[in-house]
């Protein structure tokens, strides 16, 4: 069977069309003979006249309607559709129209030949035309269905990975239609909580409705994957379903949420991995875009994880101009290309300026800010990877960029009368145990000090924890390690971290900027801290894999490798311990002290000189003396 199928599939399209049109011609001829004039005349003659003689006498009232029908088929693209992959409704529509053309054409020819109207046979002829059209359609559709079944036939041992579609609604059916011809996938069923659907079928595939069925399916198909196809679910409902699937150790993938579909970000049948929103126990809040109408914005670090998302969201506020300020050429090119495509797709009227530059270069900053009359600046440019900044050779550069780059930007913003500057900070700035965190805490002090001396520009700081899927985030690393078969590496079983999506963090940064009165330190509500070990477990189970304990048995091992230099077991967001509410329940304000200007100036001068000579010992001593709580972690 497979040998014949291979021959048929390998034929050129011309030969396939020749075979198909020959079948259609034969079908039309058979319909005409059996249900048209020839067989009727044969019965009327009491079988005294030969069938071939009758056919030859009436052949033109077959040839003419058949020719008209085939011309219609060609013109309508009937033969351009691939039978193997066409949707049934598409073939049904075209076959119905073609059949109608055949029946009507025959009726017209027959009426003219036998003077039907004068002989008062018009009603009978109309009924016969309709009947002939219906029979021809039935023959056409049957031949197409049979061809599709034959061409899509696959031997059992060649079936791909077993997939259960969770959701038997419109989205589930559309997903089925989009993947049913993929021979790498074997759809073993649908699952739906609705009692009304349990036990029913979609395209001869059973709908399951009880959890015990899931257990049975995992026993039959050990490598079962579940495709979640209910885009209208709320976040909590999605989490409930995903959590219930975790114990079955099945790989779970999902179609986009309704929000993503409506926002034209995703197609309904576009499969994707679970987002951390689906896994972590926290509620994501979406906010309406802030209006930047008529304003000129500048985002430093515009090609980074947070900077690029601020750019995307700021676009929706209809600014007059956005300046993308970025040190990395490749990052700048990437965000520029993306933003240009968004502008075109959404028909947004905004000028985008892509600028290569270093935030430590005051001359370059002043030139750009003045040339483009910048109103708001979002400062996201920073070195943030703890192990890299902690490395001996990088300490000085980390300080120059994070502290003195921030200082240069804020001073130039004041000189150029920028209305507002929002500086992105990190939870690692609170009682830091590493150079990166200490540099960000000093940068915060610099911002507050400059704000106290300035009345034209309002400065604020927004402090938050880990953002999901940012560069260096643990989650993409875990996914990569799982895909490679493990082990998944964690630094310590007790390590906990705050998590927030890039989109939510960027939205809250923009929202916080609206509250700025000058020198504010805003804290984002990150929810509860999450154990990294438990997160690793969830990701492994929801990838359809088991956990190997102590390297024994099949599965993926979770391996402790020890805390990295400067790494904490847990993070904090507050230094003072007090926080004030704002009108946004996700944004708090912290009242925090900073040194007098002359004291801070002396600290910065000493630190700058130590950085120039790369005197790491002196740098550490200055930070220990002047950054509250700074105590380098002693990691074994």
pLDDT for the residue numbered 58: 74
Q: Give residues with Cβ within 8 angstroms of 240, minimum separation 6.
A: none
- The residue out of 152, 185, 216 marking a domain boundary is 152
Residue 436 lies in a domain: yes
pLDDT digits (tens, 9 = 90+) for 29-77: 877 777 767 777 777 777 777 778 777 777 777 777 778 777 777 776 6
pLDDT for the residue numbered 357: 96
108 with 6, same domain: the answer is yes
192 with 306, same domain: the answer is no
Q: Which of 128, 360, 407, 428 is catalytic?
A: 428
Residue 477 lies in a domain: no
Residue 206 lies in a domain: yes
Dihedral angle at the C-alpha atoms of 483, 487, 490, 493, nearest 10 degrees?
120
- Which long-range CB contacts under 8 A does 70-74 form with residues at least 24 apart? 70/21, 70/24, 70/25, 72/97, 72/98, 72/101, 73/24, 73/98
pLDDT for the residue numbered 114: 61
SS3 of 44, please?
helix
Residue 547 lies in a domain: no
165 with 215, same domain: the answer is yes
CB burial class (10 A; 0-12, 13-18, 19+) of residue 623? buried
Smallest Cα–Cα separation from 173: which of 230, 129, 225? 230
The whole domain housing 392 covers: 296-465+500-526+572-626
How many domains in the chain? Answer: 3
- The residue out of 124, 152, 180 marking a domain boundary is 152
193 with 231, same domain: the answer is yes
- The residue out of 152, 175, 204 marking a domain boundary is 152
Residue 238 lies in a domain: yes
pLDDT for the residue numbered 330: 95
Dihedral sign, Cα of residue 384, residue 390, residue 394, residue 396: positive
pLDDT for the residue numbered 145: 67
Give the CATH number of the domain where residue 242 resides: 3.40.50.720
- DSSP-derived letter for residue 284 is -
pLDDT for the residue numbered 156: 44
118 with 216, same domain: the answer is no
201 with 308, same domain: the answer is no
Residue 564 lies in a domain: no
Spell out, as residue ranges, where the chain has pLDDT lower than 50. Answer: 85, 116-118, 155-158, 261-264, 268, 635-636
416 with 509, same domain: the answer is yes
| 3-state helix/strand/coil string of 196-249 | CCCCCEECCEEEECCHHHHHHHHHHCCCCEEEECCCCCCHHHHHHHHHHHHCCC
165 with 110, same domain: the answer is no
145 with 165, same domain: the answer is no
Retrieve residue 353's tokens.
């300026």
CB burial class (10 A; 0-12, 13-18, 19+) of residue 196? exposed
Does residue 428 have an active-site annotation? yes
Residue 541 lies in a domain: no
Bridge-based pairing of strands 251-254 and 272-273 is: antiparallel
């Amino acid at each position: 069977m497979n040998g014949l199928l291979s021959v048929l599939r390998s034929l050129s399209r011309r030969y396939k069309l020749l075979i198909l049109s020959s079948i259609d011609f034969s079908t039309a001829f058979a319909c005409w003979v059996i249900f048209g004039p020839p067989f009727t005349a044969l019965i009327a003659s009491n079988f005294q006249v030969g069938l071939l003689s009758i056919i030859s006498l009436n052949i033109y009232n077959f040839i003419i309607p058949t020719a008209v029908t085939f011309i219609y088929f060609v013109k309508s693209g009937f033969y351009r559709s691939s039978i193997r992959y066409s949707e049934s409704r598409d073939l049904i529509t075209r076959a119905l129209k073609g059949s109608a053309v055949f029946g009507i054409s025959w009726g017209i020819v027959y009426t003219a030949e036998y003077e039907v109207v004068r002989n008062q046979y018009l009603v009978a002829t109309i009924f016969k035309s309709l009947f002939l059209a219906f029979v021809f359609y039935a023959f056409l559709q049957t031949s197409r269905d049979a061809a599709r079944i034959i061409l899509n036939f696959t031997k059992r041992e060649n079936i791909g990975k077993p997939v259960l579609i969770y959701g038997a609604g419109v989205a589930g059916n559309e997903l089925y239609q989009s993947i049913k011809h993929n021979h790498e996938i074997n759809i073993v069923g649908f699952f739906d909580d609705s009692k009304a659907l349990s036990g029913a079928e979609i395209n001869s595939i059973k709908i399951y409705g009880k959890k015990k069925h899931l257990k049975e399916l995992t026993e039959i198909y050990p490598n079962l994957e579940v495709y979640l196809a209910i885009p209208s679910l709320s976040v909590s409902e999605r989490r409930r379903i995903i959590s219930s699937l975790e114990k079955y150790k099945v790989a779970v993938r999902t179609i986009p949420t309704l929000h993503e579909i409506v926002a034209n970000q995703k197609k309904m049948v576009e499969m994707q991995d679970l987002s951390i929103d689906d896994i972590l126990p926290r509620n994501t809040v979406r906010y309406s875009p802030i209006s930047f109408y008529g304003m000129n914005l500048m985002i430093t670090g515009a090609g980074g994880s947070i900077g690029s998302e601020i750019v995307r969201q700021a676009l929706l506020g209809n600014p007059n101009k956005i300046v993308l300020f970025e040190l990395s050429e490749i990052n700048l090119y990437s965000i520029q290309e993306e933003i240009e495509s968004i502008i075109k797709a959404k028909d947004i009227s905004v000028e985008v300026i892509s600028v290569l530059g270093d935030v430590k270069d005051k001359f370059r900053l002043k030139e750009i800010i003045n040339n483009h009359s910048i109103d708001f600046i979002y400062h996201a440019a920073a070195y943030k990877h703890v192990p890299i900044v902690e490395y001996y050779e990088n300490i000085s550069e980390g300080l120059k960029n994070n502290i003195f780059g921030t200082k240069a930007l804020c001073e130039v913003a004041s000189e150029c009368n920028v209305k507002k500057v929002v500086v992105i900070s990190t939870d690692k700035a609170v009682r830091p145990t590493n150079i990166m965190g200490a540099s960000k805490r000093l940068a915060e002090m610099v911002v507050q000090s400059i704000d106290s001396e300035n009345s034209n520009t309002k400065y604020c700081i927004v402090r938050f924890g880990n953002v999901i899927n940012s560069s260096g985030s643990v989650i993409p690393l875990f996914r990569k390690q799982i895909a490679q078969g493990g082990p998944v590496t964690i630094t310590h079983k007790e390590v906990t971290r705050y998590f927030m999506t890039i989109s939510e963090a960027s939205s809250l940064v923009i929202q916080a900027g609206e509250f700025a009165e000058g020198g504010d330190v805003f804290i984002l509500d990150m929810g509860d801290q999450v154990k990294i070990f438990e997160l690793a477990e969830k990701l492994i189970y929801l990838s359809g894999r088991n956990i190997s304990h102590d390297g024994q048995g099949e599965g993926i091992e979770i391996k402790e490798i020890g805390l990295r230099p400067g790494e904490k077991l847990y993070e904090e967001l507050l230094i003072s311990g007090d926080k004030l509410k704002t009108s946004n329940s996700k944004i708090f304000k912290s009242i925090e002290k900073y040194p007098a200007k002359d004291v801070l100036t002396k600290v910065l001068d000493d630190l700058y000189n130590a950085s120039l000579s790369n005197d790491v010992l002196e740098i550490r001593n200055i930070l220990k003396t002047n950054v509250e709580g700074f105590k380098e972690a002693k990691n074994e």
